[in-house]
Structure 1
Amino acid sequence: MPREPGDKPKTSAYDRALGLLARREHSRRELKLKLRQKGYEGDEAGDAIDRLGEQHYQDDERFAHSLVRSRVAQGYGPMRVQAELRSHGLSDARIRAVLDEAGVDWDASALAQLRRRFGGGSAPDREEKARRAQFLLRRGFPAATVRSVTHADVDDAADDA
C-alpha cells in the first residue's frame, strides 16, 4: 500500500523505546506500558525491550538505583520508595538489596526533612509533634524513625498503611 505524501512511517517499537530511554531510565514494565499505549503489540514491545536489555540500554537494576537516588534526594522515606519500586515490577528481594546498597541514613534524612519544613526548633506541644510526625509518615518514613526524630507517640500500624 503506497504512502500518502506527508505520511511518516511508523516508528518501530525498538526506536520508540530507545527514544524514551534516551530521556531517562525506565523499568521494563513502564516501557512495555508506554509502548502498548502507543499501539505496539505485546510481542513487538516485548521483543524490543528484550533487545534493549541485551544491549544494556535498559536495566531494571540501574533504573532502581536511579529512582532510589532521586527519591532520597527529594526527601522521601524508604516505605514510599519501596512502594514506587514495587509498582514498577521489581521483586521485594531486589528492592531490599537496592535500598541496602544505597546506604541511606533514614533517621538523618527524616531529620533533614523536619528541619527543611519546620525549621530547627523543637515542637512546643503534643499537637505540633503529631503534625510533624504525620508529615514524615506521609513522606514514607517508618513509625520507628518518626518516633525517634519527633519524640511523638506514633502507632506502628502506620507502617502498614
Structure 2
Amino acid sequence: MLANNKPPRPGVPGLSLKGRALKYLAAREHSRVELRRKLAPHAESAEQIEQALDELEARGLLSAQRFADSMLHRKAAKFGAARLQAELAQHQLPPDIAREAAQALRETEFERAHALWVRRYGEIPETPEDKARQMRFLAGRGFSGEVIRRVVRGEGFTHS
C-alpha cells in the first residue's frame, strides 16, 4: 500500500518525487522544509529530495518569498507578529525574507489586533475579569503587550 492507504492501480507507477512535490505545490505554497518533510517517506535518499527541490526552485515553482507571502495572507488576520514570526522561523526561511515579513507584521499589528478584537468582542470591557479575558485572548494569538493594552483600552474604537 502507498502512504495514502490506497492500493496502487495495476500498471500505474506511483508519483515521482517531483510529481508529488508539484501536487503539494498545486494545492498551496510550501516551504522547502515542509516539502522535504512530506517527500521524505517516498524518497530513496536525502540527496534525491534535495535534487528535486533544487530543480523546483530553479524553475521558479518553489519560492520562499511566495511561501512567506501566502502564509501571512492566510494567517495575518488571526494572529499577532510574535506567533507568525515563530511559525515562519520553523520554516527556516532566508534571513532577508523573514526580516521583511517581520517588519510588515509589526507595521500592521495594531490594525489586525483591533479588527480581531472587534469581531470577537466588539465592546470595551466593563469588569477586570472581562478585561483579563480579552487580553488573554489577544496574547494567545501572539499580539504584543503594548498593542493588547491599546486595543483593550478602546483606542481606535468607535460606536456605530
Give your verdict on TM over 0.5.
yes
Contact 1:27–1:63 under 8 Å retained in 2: yes
RMSD between aligned residues = 2.1
Q: Is the counterpart of residue 111 in structure 1 residue 94 in structure 2?
A: no
Contact 2:30–2:62 under 8 Å retained in 1: yes
* TM-score of the aligned structures, taking structure 1 as reference length: 0.82
Contact 1:68–1:99 under 8 Å retained in 2: no
Counterpart in the other structure of 1:77 = 80
Q: How does 1:119-134 map to 2 (within 5 A)?
A: 119=122, 121-134=123-136
Counterpart in the other structure of 2:139 = 137
Question: For the structure 1 residues 148 and 139, does the alpha-carbon distance in structure 2 shift closer, same or farther, using more than 3 Å as the test?
Answer: same
Contact 1:65–1:102 under 8 Å retained in 2: no
Unpaired runs of 5+ residues, structure 2, are: 1-8, 155-160
Q: Which runs of 4+ in 1 moved over 3 A?
A: 101-104
Counterpart in the other structure of 1:45 = 49
**What's the offset of the Cα at 1:41?**
2.0
Contact 2:17–2:52 under 8 Å retained in 1: yes
1:71, 1:64 → 2: CA distance?
Answer: 11
Counterpart in the other structure of 1:159 = none
2:41, 2:120 → 1: CA distance?
Answer: 38
**What's the offset of the Cα at 1:11?**
2.2
More displaced stretch, 30-39 vs 48-57: 30-39
2:43, 2:12 → 1: CA distance?
Answer: 15
Secondary structure at 1:8 match in 2: coil
2:106, 2:151 → 1: CA distance?
Answer: 19
Unpaired runs of 5+ residues, structure 1, are: 153-161
**AA aligned opposite 1:54:** A
**What's the offset of the Cα at 1:104?**
4.8
2:153, 2:26 → 1: CA distance?
Answer: 45
Counterpart in the other structure of 1:20 = 24
**AA aligned opposite 1:88:** H
Counterpart in the other structure of 2:5 = none
1:25, 1:96 → 2: CA distance?
Answer: 19
Among all aligned residue pairs of Structure 1 and Structure 2, give the percentage whose two residues are the same amino acid: 34
Q: How does 1:84-99 map to 2 (within 5 A)?
A: 84-99=87-102
**AA aligned opposite 1:53:** E
Number of corresponding residues = 146
